[in-house]
Amino acid sequence: METTTASQSTSLTTKDPMQEYTALQPLLLPQAHTHKTLRIVFIKPSQYDDDGYVIRFWKAVLPSNTLSVLQGLTEDIKRRRVFGDITIQVDTFDEVAEKVPVAQIVKWNRHPSTKLVVCLVGVQTPQFPRALEMGKQFRKYGIDVMMGGFHTSGTINMLGDQGPDIQELYRESIVVISGEVEGHWDGILADLLNGQLKPLYSFAQNLKDLVNIDNAPLPIISRKTMKHFARPNFGTVETSRGCPFSCSFCTIINVQGRMMRERSPEVIAELVRRNYTEHNIDFYFFTDDNFARKKWWRETFEAIIRLREEGIKISFMMQVDLARKPQDFVRLAAEAGCTQVFVGMESVNPDNIKVQGKGQNKVEEYKAIIGEWHDAGVAVHVAYIIGMPFDTKAQVALDMQYLMDEIEPDQASFFMLTPLPGSQDHKEMQERGEWMDPDLNKRDSFHATTAHPNMTAEEWTAAYQGAWQAFYSKENMAKILSRWQHSPRTYWNLLNVYLWYKNAALIEKQHPMVAGFFRLKDRLTRRPGFSVDSLPVHLWKRTKEVYRLFVAWARFLKEMEEVWLQSRPRTEREKRVLDEVQRIQGEIWQTLKVAEWQKAYNDAKAALPSKARTLLDPFEELSSKMLLSRKDLNVFLKKWGSLQIKIQTLHRSWAWGDGPAKKWLEQLYALHRDARQGMKVREWQEVYSGLRGRLPSRLDLLYARFDALSNRIVCSRQDLSACWARTRGHLGEMRIWHLQLSALAVACFKELFLTTAFARSLLASIRQKREDTTASTHPR
């Protein structure tokens, strides 16, 4: 199809619909008019888990762009009355988020004047077994079924239609769609109404002559489907298709081509304005494989900037490569509302990058490129592949540390290297006869499906899981969020993403990009080959699973409270007060040699007798105490002085002895003696008197402690965790008399206060975003 300019596309959309209707009338045979209604059911299938259950969640996260595109194409056919008086009805289902009502769909088909078709759309390789089984169910009732998506398109484009999976579709009389249906959809539906469906519709044999999507009808969002998603204001849309690069593991270039095909900036602006007005969509994931290589990237950003100036303040994330960007690309992206970029880093090992044909990635440039995005206020999300040819279990762990400490992305999605049908890797492996797991359900990039040269399947899986655990560790999340304290919007966006990602990868054990919140399991819908449990057995299993899930979530939320305490944004006033407190307390701790004392005491613990340890144990709590007032200082100095008296007493007790205990006590005594000479008590008291009335927030008063080794204030729930650990220990060993009820009461209060404060802050960030959206929708 010929490419048209942006100005031409406007004229095409204003054609007289009746002219098009008249031109297409010969498509319908007389028998087609016996149908009064054409009902099209679009289903985006899910996949099976390892236990054979369909993966479905109470609330999903990433909506399907394919459903919106096909609904838009169909509504355009309705608008143009291509099939005359035949009523067209559309139903959409995203199985990750909603149960597909198979029995209800079968009933719809029984109406004598209704022609019904089930379209299994956007089917990717791991979803193929589920899609095939669902297609078989509908075929049993004589319902026409079509299947399309990257699996069928990639397989046919690279290998032809003789593979066992495509042949099975033929045997089941499931119509196979390969390629993009823009410009062809009305013809396929005409064949359906005429009773002349072909086994295969293939539109991508020539990747240099694909459809011009700028002329295509705009996608339409289903309100019904979006109700099942955690963020109904979250949209996915493509502004272009194709990618100019040639990564060997990629299927996109062999389905959508290596020439960029774009929607014009005017069309994109029209789509964004309509979705904002009709559906309140204010955040997008632009699913283009490579936004940075669009011809009209500048004009697109400028069109979105103009929308923001009108009050339509959308934000978005997009996919870009790690090659150097055109001038002004990063700046204009940030001005247009880009809050996050998704980049295909794949590896930090140059040998791995080279062997996968990703020459545009230069490892030595990663840090600078990511830094450019950070300087513009944009977070960076990297895609990282585990299981490249030069990976080993040990090397993956080292690479993760390098990624976190040196490259410093803000988010990461990990994938196991998987030969997907449609990729060059898959084609070459098949030609060489190499083993690939025949279960397509496992080709989801988080199962080991090939033999790795340096790792067993177990080691590969462990390295993959270790990458998730390392990157989304409490320490790394706190470090990343601390970098964004100056930008509350980015901070809270990332924290919300961490709630989603860590829950999916480490609690639900599913990849975040196909996961949501709270897994649901239908007892009767199970993969062939797996037995269906009786109702009592199923309920008992689910009860245990839900219990474990709630326990895991309770621990996870406490961990996220800790991350928030350590990294939360503070007001300028809080920062000034805490900086002053940290400065003066740091001076006191240095004068008293607290850090040296702490190190010496930790080394001495094993050598000191239990009596000595009992006398000196209060030091550990004392060394981390926050001093926030003159009263705190005086109490501390009094306790510190009494500690010195204890050391002198212990030192005299071992004065005539010998051994390691005496050596450590002498060192501790010397530290105390030397520190006393440099004390400036009066000056310190004056400084604290000047802080009166300027104390930090209650959170700092309750949860802050001073880290003598780093000489800084740390906000943490460490003391609470230690209290609960001691309590569990006492209860486990039935030492009820050791429980300190007053300490437990204080811990309960602090726990409740912390949870409430965290929840209120999280909800406040969500409410603020909604208010910003409302204000921009209804400007004064």
The 10s digit of each residue's pLDDT in 754-773 is 899 889 988 888 777 666 65
Overall average pLDDT of the 70-99 stretch: 94
Q: Is the pLDDT of residue 249 over 90?
A: no
Give me the pLDDT at residue 645, please. 75
Q: Is the pLDDT of residue 636 over 90?
A: no
Give me the pLDDT at residue 529, please. 93
Give me the pLDDT at residue 380, please. 96
Give me the pLDDT at residue 617, please. 63
The CB density around residue 168, as the number of other CB atoms within 10 Å, is 14
Q: Is the pLDDT of residue 777 over 80?
A: no
Sign of CA dihedral 768, 771, 777, 780: negative
The CB density around residue 496, as the number of other CB atoms within 10 Å, is 16
Q: Is the pLDDT of residue 66 over 60?
A: yes
What's the first-to-final CA gap in the chain, in angstroms?
Answer: 46
Supply the pTM of this predicted model.
0.85
Give me the pLDDT at residue 696, please. 67
C-alpha span between 156 and 160 (Å, rounded): 4
Give me the pLDDT at residue 577, please. 81
| 335 CB-side CA count, 13 A | 15
Give me the pLDDT at residue 608, please. 65
Mean pLDDT, the chain, whole residue set: 86
Confidence of residue 736 (pLDDT cuts 50, 70, 90): confident
| Six token digits for residue 66 | 């394919």
Is the backbone of residue 431 left (phi > 0), alpha (psi -120 to 50) or beta?
Answer: alpha
C-alpha span between 212 and 4 (Å, rounded): 8
User: Which residues have a Cβ under 8 Å from the Cβ of 502 and sit 6 or more positions away?
Assistant: 472, 556
Helix, strand and coil content of the chain, in percent to the nearest 5, comes to 55, 15, 30
pLDDT top residue among 604 and 636: 636
> What angle is formed at CA 340 by the lines to CA 519 and CA 242, rounded to 5 degrees?
90
Q: What is the pLDDT of residues 141-199, one digit of tens each?
A: 999 999 999 999 999 988 999 989 999 999 999 999 999 999 999 999 999 999 999 99
Grouping H, G, I as helix, E, B as strand and the rest as coil, residue 90 is: strand
Helix (H) or strand (E) holding 540: helix 535-567
Grouping H, G, I as helix, E, B as strand and the rest as coil, residue 706 is: strand
| 752 CB-side CA count, 13 A | 6
